[in-house]
Amino acid sequence: MLSDKSPISKHPRILMLLLFAGVAAWGAAGLGPAKDFTVPAATDASLIHLSDYAGKVVLINWWRTDCAWSQRESPKLVGLYQRYRPKGLVILGISDDHGSTVGQIPAYLKRYNITWPVGLNDQGEFMREMIVQPNERGSTPGNFIVTRSGEVMYLGLDRTDADWQKLENAIAAAVAEGPGKATPIQPRDLVPAPAFSLPDLQGKPVRLSDFKGKPLVANFFTAQSCDWSGSILARLDRDYSARGLQVVGIDLFDNDAAIQSCKSRFGTKYPVLRGDQATQLAWIGERSGWATFFVSADGKILKAIKDSIDDGMEGTVFPKYADQLVSRR
C-alpha cells in the first residue's frame, strides 16, 4: 500500500497556517475563522467555493482513493451524511489523489455511493492554509469542520473507533449550535493581477496591459522547474488559444541557452518573457522558482497555484481553470 502521506512538495518552504483559536470541548484544534477556498470539482467543469456553504455545518474530508483508511471511512461518512444532512450538514470531499490515480475518482464515488461535492487538490490555497503543517494534516483521511458561524477546526485523522466517535460527536455538537456571533465565511475577493513590463527574448517590452480583455495563464518558471508544467501549458496554448486564452511564460533569471532548451522540449509557441525580482515578488510574494496564475479577462486572479508536487495535478486541473477563464469572457 502506498504511504498515507501526501506527495512531497517539489520545493519545500515555510508555510503559515491559520491562527490557532483554542480547543473545542470535543477535542478539535481550533484554527480560527475559515477562509474561502476554490477548488475544481472532480466530476464536472464547475468550481467549488467554501463560501457557497456559509451558514451550514461543513465537514471537509481530506481523502484519497488508494488509502485503505479512506476506504474504510467512506461508508461511515455516507451514513453520517444521510443522518445529519436534514439538520444542515454539508460534506465537501477534497481528494488528495495525484496524477496517476485521479482517473479512479469517478469509480470510487460510484462504488461508495458518494453524492456530496468532491474537489481536486490543486496545491492551491486549501493546501497552503490548512494542510501542510503540522505533518499529520497532510495525511488521509483527515477531517476539518466549519461551524455555522464560520470557525474552522481540525478533527484529526480517522483511523480508530475513538477517532470516528470524536468526529461523530463534533458533528452532533455543531449541528445543534446556533450561528453564534462570528461573521460567516465571506467569498474571496479576486485581486487584480500586478502590472508588469518585461522584455521578451528579443528584447521587446511586453506589458500586462497588452493582454487587456483576454484571459491569461501566467507561468513563472526556471530551467529546473519548466518540466513541471511545460507540456501542459503548451497543450493549453494549442487547445485554448482559438477561444481567446493567452499563455505567457516568465523565466526567472536563466540564460538564453537554458530558456531555449526548455522551449524546445515542449514546442512552446506562446510568448516567453525575462522576469525580474520585482515582478517575482509582486506576483508570487516570495523568491520561488515556479508558480502559475489564472487571470480573468478583466485582469483579476481567479487562481494562484504556487506549489507543485511529484506526479502533480497540473494535467487535470489546469484545463479546468482554462475552461473557467474562457467561459467567463
- Reported confidence tier of residue 310, pLDDT bands at 50, 70, 90: confident
Q: What is the mean pLDDT of the chain?
A: 88
**H/E segment holding residue 266:** helix 256-266
Q: Say what the pLDDT of residue 309 is.
A: 84
Assign residue 320 a region (left: φ > 0; alpha: ψ between -120 and 50; beta: otherwise).
alpha
Strands 47-49 and 151-157: unpaired
Q: Say what the pLDDT of residue 133 is.
A: 61
Q: Say what the pLDDT of residue 13 is.
A: 29
Q: What is the mean pLDDT of residues 125-134?
A: 75
Q: Say what the pLDDT of residue 17 is.
A: 27
66 against 7, higher pLDDT: 66
- Reported confidence tier of residue 181, pLDDT bands at 50, 70, 90: low
Q: How far is CA 201 from CA 40, 209, 247, 252, 287, in A?
A: 34, 19, 15, 12, 22
Question: Does position 137 have pLDDT exceeding 90, yes or no?
Answer: no
Q: Say what the pLDDT of residue 125 is.
A: 83
User: pTM of the full predicted structure?
Assistant: 0.88
Q: What is the mean pLDDT of residues 15-36?
A: 51
Question: Does position 18 have pLDDT exceeding 90, yes or no?
Answer: no
Give phi and psi for 22, each to the nearest 5: 110, -175
Contact indicator for 120, 145 with CB cutoff of 8 Å: no
Q: What is the mean pLDDT of residues 153-160?
A: 94
Out of 42-46, 105-109, 179-183, 253-257, which region has the weakest mean confidence (pLDDT)?
A: 179-183
Q: Say what the pLDDT of residue 184 is.
A: 75
**Torsion angle defined by CA atoms of residues 320, 322, 326 and 328, in that order, rounded to the nearest 10 degrees:** 60
Q: Say what the pLDDT of residue 128 is.
A: 79
Q: Say what the pLDDT of residue 16 is.
A: 24
Radius of gyration of the chain (CA): 21
Q: Say what the pLDDT of residue 156 is.
A: 92
Provide DSSP, 53-100.
Answer: GTTSEEEEEEE-TT-HHHHHHHHHHHHHHHHHGGGTEEEEEEE---TT
**Torsion angle defined by CA atoms of residues 307, 90, 48 and 103, in that order, rounded to the nearest 10 degrees:** 70
d(CA 258, CA 256): 6
Nearest of 58, 245, 241 to residue 149 by alpha carbon:
58
% residues pLDDT > 90 (the chain): 76
Question: Does position 11 have pLDDT exceeding 70, yes or no?
Answer: no
